[in-house]
Structures are given as structure tokens and as C-alpha cells.
Amino acid sequence: GNSVTQMEGPVTLSEEAFLTINCTYTATGYPSLFWYVQYPGEGLQLLLKATKADDKGSNKGFEATYRKETTSFHLEKGSVQVSDSAVYFCALSDQSGYSTLTFGKGTMLLVSP
């Protein structure tokens, strides 16, 4: 079956530091890959997505590239802000959007001033 593995947190960074959150997946076929963000007290929001190999998703300074050869979808940001503090979830679906999502366990990011 499908599974998503992401690095354990919390990840603690100073403002303007470089961020990487690793995510690898196991799936049959060609899944779509997603990063969701959950701010304190709020629901999940889609941060970015990629639907095929070598696609790069990007949003709000965050990027992730769909690497089929390494089955990875690592999240990166060049300079984090305090407001980026949240829990980040890597996820996959067999189809784009309408099928169920398989989530990683989430990585908490804490950014200090």
C-alpha cells in the first residue's frame, strides 16, 4: 500500500535560516504529491503540489521537486520567517485531488526571531 515517511520534528530554526524537511514515499503507479501546512489552531491548507515526475511545486517561497528516481518530495525554503512556524504534512494521492490522501506524520517547524 501507499505510505509517506517524513522527518521527525520539531525542527527548530532561527529566522532567515534555510529549511529542508525530508519526505519519501512508497506508492504504486504515479501518485500526485502534496505538502500541507497546519498553523496552530487551524485546519490543513494546501501549500504546494506536483502531479508528475520532475515537476516543481512552489508557493510562498517554499519549493519541492517530485523525484521519482529517489521517491522523494523534500520541502525547502531559502529563508524562513517566524510566521512559518507550523506543522507540515507530506501527502500523496493516487489521483489528483479526488482520491483519498495518505499523509506522513507531520513535522513541526519552530522559527525563533
Partner 1 sequence: GAVVSQHPSRVICKSGTSVKIECRSLDFQATTMFWYRQFPKKSLMLMATSNEGSKATYEQGVEKDKFLINHASLTLSTLTVTSAHPEDSSFYICSAPSFNEQFFGPGTRLTVL
Closest CA to 101 of 89, 112, 111: 89
Q: Does 96 bind partner 1 (CB under 8 A)?
A: yes
Q: Looking at beta carbons only, is 19 or 47 nearer to partner 1?
A: 47
Nearest CA to 103 out of 39, 44, 19, 42 is that of 44
Half-sphere exposure of 79 (CA within 13 A, CB side): 1
Question: Taking contact as CB under 8 A, which single stretch among the options 22-30, 60-68, 74-82, 99-107 is the one that binds partner 1?
Answer: 99-107
Pick the binder of partner 1 from 25, 35, 36, 88 (CB under 8 A). 36
14 binding partner 1? (CB under 8 A):
no
| Measured distance between the N- and C-terminal CA atoms of the chain, rounded to whole angstroms | 41
Nearer to partner 1 (CB atom), residue 78 or residue 97: 97
Q: Give the residue, chosen from 19, 57, 75, 104, that forms a contact with partner 1 under the rule CB under 8 A.
A: 104
List interacting residues with partner 1 (CB under 8 A). Answer: 4, 36, 41-46, 49, 89, 96-98, 100-106
